[in-house]
Structure 1
Amino acid sequence: MRKIVGLFGYPVAHSISPVFHNAAFKKLNLDFTYLPFSVRPKDLKKATEGIKALNIVGMNVTIPHKTEILPYLDKVSPEVKEIGAVNTIFNKNGKLVGYNTDAIGFLSSLREDLKFNPEGKSIFLLGAGGVAYAVTYALIKKKARKITIINKPHQMAESLIKHFKKIAKGCTFKLVDFSQRNNQKLISQADILINATSVGMNPKDPSLIKKELLSRNLLIFDVVYNRETALIKAAKKRGLEAIGGLNMLVRQGAASFEIWTGKKAPIETMKEAAENALANK
């Protein structure tokens, strides 16, 4: 019998996850299908119960459900307890277990694409939403020295810092008002600038950072994956190393794939399918 996995989100029509997961299943001759499910927030509990009722193998979870789904799970992994958000569910013998593979995807892309090791480094982080929580967790675990956080609204950044201070041994936080995001001194002190907001998903979105402030040795990581953002374009014009979030997306998807199937994910197949899907949008 064909096994079902999928994606809970609202909206989900834009997602390319079904494309690269189904390509991976085909590559390994696995009898799985990945389906997107548009789940309104008010229906989340019923939809989650449906995973058990329909014997669905697993589910990815995206905006706006990554934290709201937690009360409906039977168990969560250690990283979920520390991050406070779920992006992968595995139906293990009728028990729903939550995982977070975003941090894995982020670190894999940092290492492969930018050859960057966060240990002892200073980070300039834009954003304080669900992705920023996974990014911050990953940076702390890899012993980053300092994380400067900028977000609008300010209160979300305060909440993120409060959440992670208890596990951030050796890592200090600096909270900066959104209006000060183009502070030249702060940017020049950073080893890497990370955009963990959704700014850039729309082709008309401007860069949150002025091009002239992107200093010579600064690395740029933008989690937006569906296009080359204004930030990435500006960085490349300045001759900087800059990458988008496509490999992070594929890598977190590969980790989910391995949880569900117990098989090693065909990364290159998944990456090629994702790139083709974006090229054809």
Structure 2
Amino acid sequence: MINQTTRAIGLIGNPVEHSLATFMHNAAFKHLGLNYVYLLFNVKKENLNKAIAGAEALNMVGFNVTIPHKIKVINKLDEFDLMANLMGAVNTIQFKDGKSKGFNTDGPGAIKAIEEVTDLKDKKVVILGSGGAARAVSFQIAISGINDLVILNRNAKKAKSLIYDTENLLKTDNFLENEDKNNYNINPNLHFNYGTTDSVEKELKDADILIDTTPVGMYPNNNEYPLATSEMMHSDLIVNDLVYNPIETTLLKEAKKAGAKTIPGTKMLIYQGAESFKIWTGVEAPIDIMEKAVLDKLTKKE
């Protein structure tokens, strides 16, 4: 129940109406008896400065940030955590002690979803796409003990650029000298490769994990032809589609035909949300409650 001491948290972006974050976070607040409310704010590019200043003035707890503000918002904040700074993108903001601090929880969220199913150590990972989500995942996965990272995109130049940035991340002084470096597991023999999506079949032959960061198959294009089909996959493969609506995308249906294990996009959505939740509240998020809220909403929509 909203009362005189309720604190506000929200999502800024354009558009935001499709977001499931309100259901996920408000269910978690209610379950734990925390006096917060999560709201959606449609903020145009030209109003980003005003939105950040206004939130601080109104003593808001923080924001999630989505398209098109993840990169531009970084210039409006006082501080950043290491990965948000190196990535150049923010999806979570905390307002505390008169300062605004940016974080990126997309990468950790993706890794936690995969680690529910398998250990990443010494694995070969193929990522489809090279946009913002691919950037967050590739940076995080490169420090998770994998042996091979391959990025495939329709535009090979974009895939090459992301591989270059990811490889150079590991050489960054700020990264290597960070006090939390012991939390990272960097394989000294990590091998990088890139190519076009024409190479999917070839790269999947000995791959352990496939992560699709593209919007292929996203609602309302539920039946869009996937970038990888069952004939390209094998039964030891783990397939993670970051699209969460529909819950079972055409890619995941193809993976099941091949006998591969599947990870729906709802998992990353929930885990990145749980990371943000802890940043704002200092409390561990109730994963099961958040997941139920998301699945209930998606099932009703379908």
Give your verdict on TM over 0.5. yes
Q: CA deviation at 1:64?
A: 2.0
CA contact (8 A) 1:143 1:170 kept: no
User: Separation in 1 of the partners of 2:34 and 2:62?
Assistant: 15
1:192 is matched with which residue? 209
The residue matched to 2:169 in structure 1 has which SS?
Answer: coil
**C-alpha contact 1:126 1:197 (8 A) present in aligned 2:** yes
Q: Identity percentage over the alignment?
A: 41
Distance 2:257 2:214 in 1: 22
Contact in 2 for aligned 1:181/1:209 (Cα 8 Å):
no
1:147-166 pair list within 5 angstroms: 147-166=149-168
**CA pair 156-246 structure 1, distance change in 2 beyond 3 A:** same
> Structure 2: how far apart are the matches of 1:211 and 1:40?
41
Quote the Cα distance in structure 2 between the aligned partners of 1:271 and 1:39. Answer: 27
Residue 142 of structure 2 aligns to a residue whose secondary structure is helix
Alignment gaps of 5+ in structure 1: none
The 2-side partners of 1:25 and 1:102 are apart by 21
User: Structure 2 counterpart of 1:73, which letter?
Assistant: L
Distance in 2 separating the partners of 1:6 and 1:67: 18
TM-score (structure 2 length as normaliser): 0.88
Separation in structure 2 between the aligned mates of residue 210 and residue 251 of structure 1, nearest angstrom: 27
- What is the root-mean-square deviation of aligned Cα atoms in Å? 1.4
- Other structure's SS at 2:90 match: coil
- Please give the alpha-carbon distance, in whole angstroms, between the structure 2 residues aligned to 1:240 and 1:187: 12
Write the distance in 1 (CA, Å) between the matches of 2:113 and 2:19.
19
Partner of 2:92: 88
Residues 259, 146 of structure 1: CA spacing in aligned structure 2 closer, same or farther, 3 A cutoff?
A: same
For residues 142 and 154 of structure 1, the distance between their equivalents in structure 2, rounded to whole angstroms, comes to 25
Which of the numbers 52, 58, 61 marks the counterpart of 1:57? 61
Paired residue type of 2:148 = K
Q: Is the 8 A contact 1:44 1:69 kept in 2?
A: yes
Tell me the number of residue pairs that the alignment of Structure 1 and Structure 2 aligns: 277
**Alpha-carbon displacement from aligned partner over 1:67-125 (angstroms, at most 9, x marks no partner):** 1211001100012122221111000122110011112211111111x2x2222111111
Amino acid at match of 2:39: L
Counterpart code for 1:155 = K
More off after superposition, 157-166 vs 241-250: 157-166
Which residue matches 2:250? Answer: 230
Give the counterpart letter for 1:259 in structure 2: I
Instruction: Give the match for residue 101 of structure 1.
Output: 105
Q: Give the partner amino acid of 2:33.
A: N
